[in-house]
């Protein structure tokens, strides 16, 4: 927002600077191009942030809906709703990310994040439907691996941040709930997230990875 205001001010003042001899016409064009590029990059952060917040809110609403109506739903309906909602979210995400510019890209990232949330809900609810009694941190591990698979297929920084957070949660469960002094397997999963984060220059994902490593 501030870069856009600065750009408008520059466009008004640069002609005067050229008349004063402070800036050449070529310099004017270079300055405007540089500020336009920075302004365009900055504006994208706002719709992505709002879309991610919306996805988190929608995901929480879906989970609350399941919790309120779970006992009254037949098993087949539960499965259709669980998998249907997840794949719809992924389909919308794919369409949005294929148009990566502007609001469509923001919606794509948000729906991909919603798909990850629903994938985790599916793991827990299917375990409940079929009374699967397993080492419960493995459910969070599967959740994180699902996010990992997505970011290797689709470049999405919000999905990477979510996957790193889930990896840290998995390691925390293993350490705190099962008395492990050092949970070494975390480092392997952590490295698989750090690779694409560094390769694609994802600053937020890299910061999340460093925080997760520090907590570990």
Q: Would you list the domain boundaries of the chain?
A: 134-216
Q: In the Cβ-directed half-sphere of 181, how many Cα atoms lie within 13 Å?
A: 0
* Residue closest to 200 by CA, chosen among 163, 161, 155: 155
b/e 182-205 (16+ beta carbons within 10 angstroms → b): ebeebeebbebbbebbeeeebeeb
In this predicted model, what pLDDT tens digit does every residue of 78-126 receive, in sequence order? Answer: 788 888 888 888 888 888 787 655 555 777 888 888 899 889 988 888 8
In this predicted model, what pLDDT tens digit does every residue of 134-167 receive, in sequence order? Answer: 888 899 999 999 999 999 888 888 899 999 999 9
* C-alpha 109, offset from chain centre: 6
pLDDT at 48: 66
The model carries a pTM of: 0.71
In this predicted model, what pLDDT tens digit does every residue of 20-78 receive, in sequence order? Answer: 777 777 776 777 776 666 655 554 566 666 766 777 777 777 777 777 777 777 888 87
pLDDT at 188: 94
pLDDT at 43: 46
pLDDT at 147: 94
* C-alpha 99, offset from chain centre: 17
Residue listed under structure tokens 């540089």? 34
Tell me the CA end-to-end span of the chain in Å, nearest whole number: 37
Whole-number Å distance between alpha carbons of 206 and 58: 26
């Amino acid at each position: 927002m501030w870069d856009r205001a600065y750009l408008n001010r520059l466009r008004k003042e640069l002609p005067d600077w050229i008349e004063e001899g402070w800036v050449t016409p070529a310099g004017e064009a270079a300055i405007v191009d540089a500020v336009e590029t920075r302004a365009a990059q900055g504006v994208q952060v706002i719709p992505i942030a709002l879309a991610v917040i919306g996805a988190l809110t929608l995901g929480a609403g879906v989970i609350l809906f399941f919790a309120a109506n779970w006992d009254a739903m037949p098993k087949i309906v539960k499965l259709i709703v669980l998998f249907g909602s997840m794949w719809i979210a992924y389909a919308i995400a794919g369409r949005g990310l294929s148009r990566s510019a502007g609001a469509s890209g923001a919606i794509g990232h948000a729906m991909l994040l919603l798909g990850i949330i629903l994938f985790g809900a599916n793991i827990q609810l299917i375990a409940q439907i079929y009374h699967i009694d397993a080492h419960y941190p493995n459910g969070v591990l599967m959740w994180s691996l699902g996010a990992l698979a997505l970011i290797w297929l689709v470049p999405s920084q919000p999905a990477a941040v979510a996957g790193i957070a889930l990896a840290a949660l998995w390691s925390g469960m293993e350490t705190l709930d099962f008395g492990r002094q050092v949970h070494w397997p975390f480092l392997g999963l952590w490295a698989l997230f750090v690779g694409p984060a560094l390769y694609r220059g994802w600053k937020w994902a890299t910061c999340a990875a460093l925080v997760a490593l520090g907590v570990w």
